Structure 1
Amino acid sequence: MRGEKGVSRRRMMQVVAGGGSALAALSALTLGSCKATADLDITQFNSWLQGVRDEAAARGVSAATLDDAFKGVAFNYDVIALDQKQPEGTMTFVDYLARVVNDKRVANGRALFQQHQVLLKQIGGLYGVQPRFIVALWGIESNYGAQQGDYRVVEALATLAYEGRRAEFFRKELLNALEILQHHDVSAGNMLGSWAGAMGQCQFMPSSYLRFAVDADGDGKRDIWNSTADVFGSIANYLAGNDWNASQTWGREVKLPAQLDSNLVSLDIEKSLEEWRKLGLRRADGGVLPVVHKLNASLVRPDDTSGPAYLVYGNYKAIMKWNRSTYFATAVGTLADKIEQG
C-alpha cells in the first residue's frame, strides 16, 4: 500500500470531486505539467505494448482478447498529467469532512439504504458486514455509482506502466486487467474507471477485483459497473476478507485532555477503553467513555496535532486497508453513522 499521508491528500481530492471521473475536468489545466514526459521515447510505446501482449499471452490470455483490449490504445498524456499533479493538501480535515459527508450525500445514502434494504440485509448477513458501511463506501468511492470514471482502464494502466515512475505496480495491474477481460466479466470498451485504473462503482483496482469481486446476482458475471448486487457483495467481501468484525463499529470522536502525550496518537498503539478513560479521554459530548465494552482502541487525529480526534477499533483498520488515509477512513465511518441515524 502507498504511504498514508501521500494517499490521504491525493485521495482526498478524488473523493471531494465525487469519484475518479471528475478529475478529468482537471486535465486541461494540468497538461502543462507533462514536461517530465519530454524525455520519454513515446515512439517505443507500441513496441513496449507488444512485450505486455507476449507476457499476457504466456499467462493464457487469448489473442482475440488482447486484440480487443489494445484496439486504439495510445499513450494518454492526460493520465500522466493527473498522476504528476500532486495536490498541495491545504484543506483541513474539518473542511474535507464537510465536503465529503455533506447533507446531499447523507440524504442520498439514507434513501438508497432504504431502497435496497432487503438486498443489503441479505448481503450483510452473508458476509458479516453491517449494511451502513457498504453504502458508505459506495457513496464515497463513486457517489453511489454516479461517478465511476470514464478512462479506458487498459489505456490508463498501460500509460502509467510505460511512464515508469511506478512501472512494476501498474504493469501488474495491467496484466490483471487483461486477465479480467479474458474471463469475459466485462468488455474492453466497458472497462472504464479513474485515470489511475480504479474501476466501477466500488473503484477496485484490477488486483482487488480478482481477489474480492463477486457475482452476487447470479448472472455469471462479476459486474461492479452495472449490478448493484455485485457492487454490494464485492464491497462486503473485501471488508470480510480484511478481518471485519460485525459485532463492532468503527470508532467514535473523543475529547482529549489538555495534556496528553502526542506519541499516543498512533494506529500502532492499542489500549482498552478503560485505559483511555484513565488517561482523561471523554466522549465528544463530554460524557464518560463506555468502558463496559471490552474493546481495544487506537487514537487517531487526521490532522496530526489539531482538529478532531477519534478512538478507532479494528474495523477502522480494515477500512484503512481499502485506502490508507485517515481522512478517507474517518469519512467512511462518519457517513455510515449518519446513514444509520436517518
Structure 2
Amino acid sequence: MRNLSILKAARGGRAPRRAMPLVLLTCLCFFLSAEGSAADTACRKGQSFDAWLSDVSAEGARKGLTQRSLSELQGLSLDRKVLARDRGQPSLSLSFTEFADRLISRNRLSRGRAMLDRYDSTFAAIERDFGVQGPVLAAFWGLETDFGGYMGEFSSLRSLATLAYDCRRSELFREELFAALALLERGDLTPEEMRGAWAGEIGQVQFTPSNYLKFGVDYDGDGRRDLVRSVPDALASAAKFLRHLGWRANEPWLEEVEVGPNVPWDKAGRGHYRSRSEWARDGVRRRGGGRLPADRVDAALVLPMGRDGPAFLAYRNFDIFWEWNNSSNYSLAAAYFATRLAGAPPMRRGNPAAMLSSKELLEVQTRLNRLGYDAGPPDGRLGQKTRAGVRAAQLAFGLPADGYPTRALLERLRRQ
C-alpha cells in the first residue's frame, strides 16, 4: 500500500502461471549493483550506525518504549540491499495493457474468485461494518501479496533502521521504525513475524508500520491485530484504512465504456469530473453500446492509452485506489482487477498507437518544457504531469487532446 517504489510484475510461458505479488518483483524493474549501495551519511557528521542506533534506543525509551521492544535494535546492521532498492531506477516502461496483463493473470483471477467464495461471510461482514465491497479488498490483497502467498523476506526492523539512518528520507523512516517497535511493544507481532518488503511494509496487505498501528483491526477476536497470519484481521484493516481515505459505501469505482468520435478529449483525465449525463451527451456509452444513466453522478473519463485504447469512467471511489498507491498504472490495474472479480468481462483493447520508449518520452518531456508546456521533470515516465503537458500541446497544435503522447506528436515537437 502506498508503496515507496512502483513495482512491476512479470509472467511467462505457455501455460497460465501465478502472477508475482508486488513485493517479489523489484528485481525485474530496478538496476541493482551486486554489492549494494552505500548510505548517504552527510547528515550524520561521522556518527556510526551503531552509535546512531543507541540514540534511537534512548529516544524510544523517552517515548515510553520498554526494553522488551528496544532490545530488538541491538545487533542490527546496515542492509546495503535495501539501500540499492531505494536507489534503484525503473528499467522499463509498460503500457497499461501490458502492466495489467502481467499483474492480472488468469491464475490470479481464478484464485481471487476462489478467495471471495472461501471467505464469503468475512467479506460480507466487513462490507456491513466498513462499507467496502469484497472485490475491492480481494484486488488489493491479490496484487500486494498474492493473497498472502508472499509477503516479503526482509527484516522489517533492519530495513527501517537502514532507511532511517540514511539521510535521504531519514525522518519518514525514523517514525516508521518507532511505529514498528510500538507494534512489538503492543504484542501484535513477534520479531520473527516482522518480515516484509524492502521498505518496511508488513503483512498480507502490506501496511506501513504507522498505518498498522492506526488501522489494524482484531477482526477474528483473538486479542491480536495480526495482519500477517489472520486473513480477517488483514482484510478488515484494509477496509478500515480505505474508509479513512474516503471510500463511499455502495458506490461504484470503475466502469469500462465506449467512446465516440466527438468526445471532448481535453475534458478526459483522472479527477476531471463531469456528470454521467454530460458524458452520455458527448458520445460515451456503456460497454456494448448501452446508454449511460442521465444522472448527476460524477465520473471522469480515463484513457490510459489515448482515445483509441481502453476507456473507463472512474467514479469518486477511484480516487481511493490512487490514494492507496499513486501510480497511474497500479491504481487503474487494481480498480480494473476489482471489476473483473465483481463479474466484468475482459476490457476491450482497441487499437492504440504504440507507446513511446522511455528515451522517446524523455525527449517529449524535454521538448514540451522548452516550448512552455509544463511536462514535469523529464524522467522518461508517463505521469499525470506529463499527460497534462501533452494535452496542452495537442490543443495548441489542433490535435485530439487525449493526453497520450505518440510518435506523431514527437515529430511535431521536433519541427517546432
Fold shared per TM-score above 0.5:
yes
Instruction: Name the counterpart of 1:11.
Output: 6
Q: What's the CA shift for 1:47? A: 1.2
Residues 176, 206 of structure 1: 8 Å contact kept: yes
User: For residues 17 and 285 of structure 1, do their structure 2 counterparts lie closer, same or farther at Cα, with a shift above 3 Å needed?
Assistant: same
**Which residue of 1 is the match for residue 60 of structure 2?**
56
Percent of aligned positions that are identical: 32
Structure 1 residues 301 and 196 mapped into 2: Cα distance closer, same or farther (>3 Å)? farther
In the TM superposition, residue 102 of structure 1 has moved relative to its aligned partner by: 1.3
| Residue among 207, 211, 224 paired with 2:227 | 224
Alpha-carbon separation, structure 1, partners of 2:104 and 2:29? 22
Q: Which residue of 37, 41, 44 maps to 2:48?
A: 44
Would the aligned equivalents of 1:19 and 1:149 in 2 still touch at CA under 8 Å?
A: no
Higher relative contact order (CA 8 A, sep 6+): 1
Structure 1 counterpart of 2:50, which letter?
Answer: N
Count of residue pairs the alignment pairs up: 334
Q: Residue 120 of structure 2 corresponds to which residue in structure 1?
A: 117
**Residue among 61, 80, 99 paired with 1:96:** 99
Q: 1:1-342, aligned counterparts within 5 Å?
A: 10-13=5-8, 17-23=20-26, 30-32=32-34, 34-35=36-37, 37=39, 44-67=48-71, 69-258=72-261, 260-292=263-295, 294-303=296-305, 307-341=309-343
Secondary structure class of the residue paired with 1:90: coil
Q: Counting helix residues as a fraction of each chain, which structure ranks higher?
A: 1
Distance in 2, matches of 1:166 and 1:101, equals: 32
Once the two structures are superposed, residues 18-51 of structure 1 have per-residue CA deviations (whole angstroms, 9 ceiling, x without a partner) of 1314547889x72348455487789711111122
**TM-aligned CA deviation for residue 276 of structure 1:** 1.2
Q: How far 1:321 moved relative to its partner?
A: 1.4
1:229 offset after TM fit, Å? 1.0
State TM-score, norm by structure 2: 0.73
**CA distance, structure 2, for counterparts of residue 238 and residue 336 of structure 1:** 17
Compute the displacement of 1:265 (Å): 2.8
> 1 CA distance for matches of 2:292 and 2:342?
21
Q: Structure 2 vs 1, CA of residues 192 and 286 (structure 1 numbering), >3 Å: closer, same or farther?
A: same
Deviations, residues 64-100 of structure 1 (Å, cap 9, x unaligned): 3110x21431100111111111213421110111111
The alpha-carbon distance between structure 1 residues 35 and 236, as it changes in their structure 2 partners (threshold 3 A), is closer
Residue 256 of structure 1 deviates from its aligned partner by 3.1
User: In structure 2, do the counterparts of structure 1 residues 12 and 252 end up closer, same or farther at CA, with 3 Å as the change threshold?
Assistant: farther
CA-to-aligned-CA distance 1:157-192 (integer Å, 9 cap, x gap): 111121221222111111111111111111122111
Q: Which whole-Å CA distance do the structure 1 matches of 2:88 and 2:35 have between them?
A: 7
CA apart distance, 1:284: 3.6
Secondary structure of 1:11 counterpart: coil
Contact 1:34 1:84 survives alignment (8 Å): no
Question: Alignment partner of 1:97: what SS?
Answer: helix
Equivalent pair of 2:8/2:25 in contact (CA under 8 Å)? no
Q: Is the 8 A contact 1:157 1:174 kept in 2?
A: yes
SS at match of 1:298: strand
Q: Which runs of 5+ in 1 are unaligned?
A: none
**Which stretch has the larger CA shift, 162-171 or 39-48?**
39-48
- The 8 Å contact of residues 66 and 178 in structure 1, kept in 2 or not, is answered as yes
Which consecutive residues of structure 2, in runs of 5 or more, have no partner in the other structure? 11-18, 345-416
Separation of aligned partners in 1, 2:131 and 2:66: 37
